[in-house]
C-alpha cells in the first residue's frame, strides 16, 4: 500500500513546467494550449507497468494578471481500466506556475474521500520561470481535514503532505517514448502523514518543451522504488 501511495503521489505532481521569460511564460507552456493531452506511465523498480495517467487541458482563461487552465485527469490501472478521475487548475502569474493544492494529494487518497466532506489549507506549489542549476525552490504543504457529509469530524482520515528541500541539481538530456528532451533535474523530499507516515525522495526532470519528462522515487533509505515517464503528447 505504501508503494502504491508513493507511485500515485508522483503522478499528482508530474505536471510542473517552466518556460523562457516571465513576459511570455504562459504562451510557451505546452499545457496552456487547449486540447493538449499528456500521458504519463508508471513503472515498478524492475520495469513493469503499474498504470498510467492521462491529463487533458480543456480551457484556458486569461486576465491582465494571470493565465489559468482547467484540466481533467484520468488514471488507469496496468490493464488500462479507468480507476479514478479528477479536475484541477494550474495558474501562471508573474512568471511563476502555481498549482492547485489538490494536486499534492495522492489520487487513491482523493478517491477514498469522494463520499466525504474535505477542507484543505496550506501553501501553493510553485515553479519559477527562471530555473538555474543550483537554485533552491520554495517548500509547499497541504493539510486536509475530513468529516462525514453533514456529520462529525473524522480525525483518523486527516492527512498532510509536505514537499521540502527542492533543489535544481543539473541539466540533462532525457529520452522516453515521447521523444528526447533537454531537462532540468530537480530533487525534493515528500512526506505524507495520515494513519501512517511515509517519506520519500523524488527526482524529476523538467523540459522547457514538454514539462515533466521523468520522475524517479526512492525510499528514505535510498532504495529505488520506480519511475513515471511522459510516454505520449497530443496537441
- pLDDT > 70: percent of the chain: 82
Predicted confidence (pLDDT) at residue 44 exceeds the cutoff of 50: yes
Q: What's the pLDDT score for residue 21?
A: 34
Average pLDDT (85-98) is 82
Burial label for 35, CB within 10 Å (0-12, 13-18, 19+), is: exposed
Predicted confidence (pLDDT) at residue 88 exceeds the cutoff of 60: yes
- Dump pLDDT digits (tens) for 54-68: 999 999 998 888 888
Residue 235 lies in a domain: no
- Dump pLDDT digits (tens) for 94-103: 778 787 776 6
Residue 178 lies in a domain: yes
Domain count, the chain: 1
Predicted confidence (pLDDT) at residue 118 exceeds the cutoff of 90: no
Predicted confidence (pLDDT) at residue 19 exceeds the cutoff of 50: no
Residue 234 lies in a domain: no
Average pLDDT (206-215) is 84
CATH at residue 33: 2.40.360.20
Q: What's the pLDDT score for residue 111?
A: 65
Question: pLDDT band for position 20 (50/70/90)?
Answer: very low
- Domain holding 35, by residue range, is 2-229
Average pLDDT (34-53) is 95
Residue 78 lies in a domain: yes
Question: pLDDT band for position 106 (50/70/90)?
Answer: low
Amino acid at each position: 500500500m505504501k508503494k502504491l501511495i508513493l507511485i500515485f503521489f508522483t503522478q499528482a505532481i508530474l505536471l510542473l513546467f517552466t518556460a523562457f521569460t516571465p513576459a511570455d511564460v504562459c504562451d510557451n507552456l505546452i499545457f496552456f494550449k487547449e486540447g493538449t493531452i499528456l500521458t504519463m506511465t508508471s513503472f515498478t523498480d524492475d520495469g513493469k507497468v503499474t498504470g498510467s495517467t492521462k491529463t487533458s487541458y480543456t480551457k484556458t482563461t486569461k486576465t491582465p494578471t494571470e493565465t489559468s487552465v482547467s484540466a481533467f485527469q484520468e488514471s488507469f490501472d496496468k490493464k488500462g481500466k479507468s480507476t479514478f478521475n479528477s479536475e484541477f487548475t494550474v495558474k501562471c502569474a508573474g512568471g511563476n506556475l502555481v498549482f492547485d493544492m489538490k494536486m499534492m494529494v495522492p489520487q487513491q487518497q482523493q478517491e477514498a474521500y469522494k463520499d466525504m466532506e474535505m477542507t484543505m489549507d496550506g501553501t501553493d506549489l510553485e515553479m519559477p520561470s527562471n530555473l538555474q542549476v543550483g537554485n533552491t525552490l520554495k517548500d509547499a504543504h497541504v493539510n486536509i481535514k475530513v468529516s462525514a457529509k453533514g456529520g462529525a469530524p473524522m480525525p483518523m482520515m486527516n492527512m498532510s503532505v509536505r514537499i521540502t528541500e527542492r533543489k535544481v541539481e543539473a541539466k540533462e538530456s532525457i529520452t522516453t517514448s515521447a521523444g528526447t528532451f533537454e531537462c532540468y533535474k530537480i530533487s525534493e523530499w515528500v512526506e505524507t502523514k495520515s494513519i501512517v507516515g511515509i517519506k520519500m525522495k523524488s527526482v524529476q526532470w523538467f523540459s522547457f518543451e514538454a514539462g515533466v519528462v521523468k520522475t524517479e522515487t526512492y525510499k528514505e533509505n535510498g532504495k529505488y522504488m520506480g519511475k513515471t515517464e511522459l510516454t505520449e503528447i497530443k496537441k
